[in-house]
Amino acid sequence: MKEKLKIYLSQLNILSSDEIEYSVTMFENVIIKKNDFFVSEKKLCDQIAFIFKGGVRSFSIAENGEDNTTCFKFENQFITSYESFISKKKSKKSIQAIEDCDLLVINRTNFLYLMEKFPSWISVQNFIIQQEFIEKENYLNYLKNTSAKDKYLHILNEKPEIAKRASVNHIASYLGITQRTLTRVKKGISFQTF
């Protein structure tokens, strides 16, 4: 399992092979079942995980009680509530497994230790944060300012794993539309492809 993390880290061309070998020893294997939480809203998030297998979603609950999914992550991606992890404040979002997940997890103390021992880990952290920022910007640009059909087509073309692996209600929440609208859009797209 840690071999996959080694490959991921080596492809970044930031850490030396010795740094990678040592670093992966700081990660522990954690399994979370579908619907279980990696972190819950209003709880402290003091760990980062690399997804070896499975998928998760990030979401928050609005004042009206509605579930607002803002992100999906799958294999070979890191997950955490970055604001909570960095500031040591309660998380403003939850991260929930949408499938059974095998994770490689490192706690905050060990992560900070790695950055102190190998300053190149600061660049790894920056890369992870940049990826998160790009994803959020794309979410705002492509999924909040277009029609329901265009939103779903964007998912099919750019993030097909979401359409294949997430539930209809989670996808609808992510797109900011109702399940009924999503079902109608999917039927319309299916009809056009025949």
pLDDT digits (tens, 9 = 90+) for 32-57: 999 999 999 999 999 999 999 999 99
3-state secondary structure of 6: helix
Name the least confident of 20-24, 68-72, 141-145, 158-162.
141-145
Q: Where exactly are the structural domains of the chain? A: 2-136, 146-194
Distance CA 162, CA 168 (A): 10
Nearest-angstrom CA–CA distance, 146 and 97: 28
Which position has the higher pLDDT, 81 or 190? 81
Q: What is the mean pLDDT of residues 159-164?
A: 94
Per-residue confidence (pLDDT) for residue 122, from 0 to 100: 95
Class of domain 2-136: mainly beta
Q: How confident is the model at residue 188 (pLDDT cuts 50, 70, 90)?
A: confident
Predicted pLDDT of residue 191: 55
Residue 187 — pLDDT band, cuts 50, 70, 90? confident
Q: Convert the pLDDT of each residue in 72-128 to its tens digit.
A: 999 999 999 989 998 999 999 999 999 999 999 999 999 999 999 999 999 999 998
Measured between alpha carbons, how far is residue 47 from residues 42, 80, 115, 142 in Å?
A: 15, 7, 14, 30
In this predicted model, what pLDDT tens digit does every residue of 11-32 receive, in sequence order?
Answer: 999 999 999 999 999 999 999 9
Answer positive or negative: Cα dihedral of 161, 163, 164, 169.
positive
| Cα three-residue angle 33-38-41, rounded to 5 degrees | 130
In the structure, what pLDDT confidence band is assigned to residue 185 with cuts at 50, 70 and 90?
A: very high
The pLDDT score that the predictor gives to residue 135 is 85
Residues contacting 167, CB < 8 A, separation 6+: 98
DSSP secondary structure letter of residue 92: S
Per-residue pLDDT, 194: 40
Q: Is the pLDDT of residue 193 over 70?
A: no
pLDDT of 192 reads: 56
Model confidence pLDDT, tens digit, residues 167-178 = 999 999 999 899
